[in-house]
Amino acid sequence: MQSRPAPPPTPPTRARSSAESSEMADLELIWRPLQIGATTVKHRIMVAPHGQAYGENHAPGDRMIAYFAERARGGAALVGVEATSASRHLSGAQPGGATSGWRLTAYQQRTIPAYARLAEAVHAHDCRIFVQLSTGGVNDVGRAWTDNWHPVRGPSRVPSPIMNETPVALTGADIAELTGDYGQSAANLHEAGIDGVEIHAAHGYLGMQFISPAFNKRSDAYGGSVANRCRFSIEAAEAIRRRVGDAMTVGLRLSFDEFIGDAGVTPELAEECLDVLAASGLFDYFSISCGSWYSLHRTVPPMGSVPEAFLVPYAKRAKAVVGDRAKVFVAGRVLDLATAERVIADGAADMVAMVRAHLADPFLVTKTKQGRQREIVRCAGMNECMAAPAKGRQVTCVVNPAAGRERDWGEGTLRPAAEPRRITVVGGGPAGMRAAGVAVKRGHEVTLIERSPRLGGHLDLLRRLPTRGNWQIVVDDLAAALERNGVEVRLSETATASSLAAASPDAVVCATGSTWDRTGFSAARPDRATMPGAGCDHVLDVATATLAALEDPRALGAKVLILDDTGTYLPLGLAELLGEGRVEVEVLSRFPVIGELVAGTQDLPWLLPRLAKLDVRLSPNHFIESIDGHRVEVYETLTRRPRPLEDVDSVVLAMMRSPQDALFRELSDAGAVPTHCIGDAVAPRSVAEAIYEGEKLGRAL
């Protein structure tokens, strides 16, 4: 196999895509107002409902209000609030935040003032707001609330593939009470000034459970025929209309494909459902999405997995079914307004939802209107926004650390420095670039020194792996901000204590990153400081091995063993790279799941099948005892059963990373200049944390 060519140096400016290079004159249809039932929106770009876990005591709080106000201020015409519990019986609690007050509810009248504050904040910017009404059904958590344990309920006795709690089948009386709660929730929201409500019949929630053959095994009026499967959603809409009439917009979100074949929702079934739902005359719009808990990786796909605007073909089919009976919305990796314009022009949808794009840059609409497309911070699909809730954390964004922190870091909060100073940033990784970019905007004179010929730090390696090219977007956008704001960038230069002393800056920021440990130490083996044999020439750290494999996939030999003690993407990306070069690869991990930290980003369901096709062997619950030449003693961690491997050409260790903090310590000890340390140079962590610390320090300097 041919070696991969070395990438060119990072360009000084961000190259425009064909979409970005479109002149404002080419964007015409998206600026047209649209009437959606009782609601008029000023243009066709919206933020669809999505989870943030920002609720406080089950209602919108200050963090959530600031978040949505920022997107409204940035130019969105319509914002949608996340799946909000419409009934006390089926809360829709999710893993990670189930016992907190993050989960929104709308059925309680006590929440009306909070929703009123949210509506007022959004309306202040000529933006409209809908709330998505939902019940979890079998995706509820029966023990979410300590004082209210209960069995979960669903259409049939079919458990969720994720929650795995055996449900009770809903009775007719249960359903009547549930749909009545939808009406009460809508009435509460209407009183609060919310413009519309959306019934959630997508992504595996209760409305979809009634539609999906995977969950609905009923033989009564709510199962069997397509009309019966749609009955729950129709009765919920009828209950809403009885309470609010035509004063609110009423819509429904539908998964067009569950991606489990005829066992679930197929595009053909979705078309039949849409026809039934549209014929009811109850719905002002249908929002087209995809997936369920069986296929969440397709609902919010990570970088390198699907093309942009991947749901548009489904929306076009939906539009053909619905006709002029209702409006059609579409989401699905629409990343710029030129693409949205093409969607509208093609007649595929009436509104285009851009969720992750607005997480990354709330002002993308305004910037586009003003011809400032180059300033838009682009979503690269890292899916930290998906991984955070799975870990019980509130949502934020890798490239936009202000997401969720708008009260402190939102638009207009960056204050000029009281005394502009000369600042030198050492290190051109994400932490250093962010710190430099923020500091210069406050009026400081900033120089950034990077010892390599390219910016990016750790990202320069990640972006060269299969399917990881979008990391270059992150580097390019950070680099563009440096150039746009006048940071002096000096590449291929090594900063030393003496060279910095000679330059005499007013402050130094050390963002010098980290290096991969080669001793083989692991917290799983506190009995030893090093791994026996780790010093052999054919034992490499994962970064060194990846660089070699990028030049020639067979540079590491015909048989390679990778020990992943991190659960991160890099060792698995290296395995894929080697597998493409027809190298025999085995990946070991002491964890019960290979790539544990990658699961939340939804990368694993895409990556693992690719590795399987390349015959990469994955061995969880395994570790290395010792390396003796080309013989490696491997053992199974649960039983300590040995498994010796022979003729291993290279052993790759993805273990701890160590901070490169020597320069920081030397400067700090000298005390001649105020010195700060951020990112991996403090403690090796995620890219999101590095950029966050760059933002935080840049604001404080």
First to last CA, the chain: 49
Identify the helix (H) or strand (E) that includes residue 698: helix 687-700
Helices (H), 221-302: 226-229, 231-244, 267-279, 296-299
> CA 97, CA 93: separation in Å to the nearest integer?
7
Residue 251 near residue 331, CB atoms below 8 Å: no
Go through the chain and tell me how many residues it has: 701
> CA 155, CA 90: separation in Å to the nearest integer?
12
**Angle, helices 471-484/430-441, rounded to nearest 10 degrees:** 30
The residue with tokens 């990658």 is 598
Residue 572 near residue 596, CB atoms below 8 Å: no
Residue 385 near residue 303, CB atoms below 8 Å: no
Torsion, Cα of 412, 414, 416, 421 (10° steps): -160
User: Active-site residue 205, yes or no?
Assistant: yes
Out of 54, 67, 107, 205, which one is annotated catalytic? 205
Q: Which amino acid is at 529?
A: A
Residue 122 near residue 79, CB atoms below 8 Å: yes
Residue 321 near residue 274, CB atoms below 8 Å: yes
In the three-class reduction of DSSP (H, G, I as helix; E, B as strand; rest coil), residue 386 is classed as helix
> CA 300, CA 92: separation in Å to the nearest integer?
19
Q: Which of 19, 37, 54 is nearest to 329 (CA)?
A: 37
Q: Which residues does the annotation mark as catalytic?
A: 205
